[in-house]
Chains A and B, each alone.
Chain A
Amino acid sequence: MKSLASLLILLLLLESLAWAGLDSKKAMYVGGTVASIKEGTEGTVSEKNEDHWVFHYTNGSFQVPYDHVNDLEYGQKAGRRLGVAIALTPMALFSKKRKHYLTIGYADENGKQQAAVFELGKDIVRVTLASLEARTGQKIDYEDEEARKSGRGN
């Protein structure tokens, strides 16, 4: 019974470690030309507003009017779960952890070109990309075929 309990604890730990990183439903401002948001700020994104795309974070929100967006790019970075593999089980090497990046290019209120790069949690990629395409009328520029597949397959 003790071994069963130990196994279950280990599995729980493994699972929680495997999910470490950005929450699957959240987004993070990675960087860009937006001075008002600190790099690495986490929050949530919303396309429910008909006029603005919104990134909500703890101390405020960042909004981009859809009709100011002139470029949408999606890319991803895939890596092995090395930390989990070393700490817990080599089996983790067989799975890949993907990070999803959305770059929004837009003209600010002064007509100056700006860019903001967001990391998207895996559960919001498909919805975010589809909604942005619909709202802005811009097509997503996928980094490569793998990114296109991942972005559409979620």
Chain B
Amino acid sequence: MKKLLAALLALLLVSTYPALAGLGSHSAMYVGGTVSNLPDKTEGHFSTGDDSATFKSGKASLTIPYSKIDSLEYGEKAGRRVGLSVAVSPLFLLSKKRRHYLTIGYLDEQNKQQAAVLELGKDIIHPALSTLEAKTGKKVEYQDDEARKVATGH
């Protein structure tokens, strides 16, 4: 009975930390914005082509021509790995988990201003930002110097 109780509590505890699962390092998530055909928190993949950037999930996709993009912002959220520290080792409190957010401002086909906030996996941030800057001719606006350092490495 005690074992069962402990196991149940451990399960409950782990289930309270969805952050344990996290976004894949090569994946992306549409966090939210003004895009009506994409539900918030949709996971998928972000790619950059010759003429446009695309976020694609199983159900829907968002394609933004580079020529329509008028702003790029990058920010991050750093937090302690509380879930892992509880479930695995307190040493995880010493490391930080970062989430990376890219906000794309653009004009839609009716020339109405739109905004899409994407969370990007850590392995695609640098190439995504570099490509977007090169293709759009817009400079990424960084939340602060730390965000710039994390995203660009300098």
Contacts and interface: CB of A to CB of B under 8 A. Distances in A.
Interface string B12-49: 11001000000000000001111010001000000000
Contact of A8 (B6, B101, B103): B6
Contacts of B80: 95
B12 A12 contact: yes
A1 to B, nearest CB: 5
Classify chain A: how many residues form its interface, as a range.
Answer: 20 to 34
A134 B115 contact: yes
A1 B103 CA distance: 48
Interface residues of B, number: 34
Given A5-B9, A12-B12, A152-B75, A131 B2 contact: no
B146 to A, nearest CB: 9
A3 to B, nearest CB: 10
B33 A134 contact: yes
B143 A50 contact: no
Contacts of A47: 33-34
A22 interface: no
A11 B86 contact: yes
Given A124-B32, A131-B33, A8 B75 contact: no
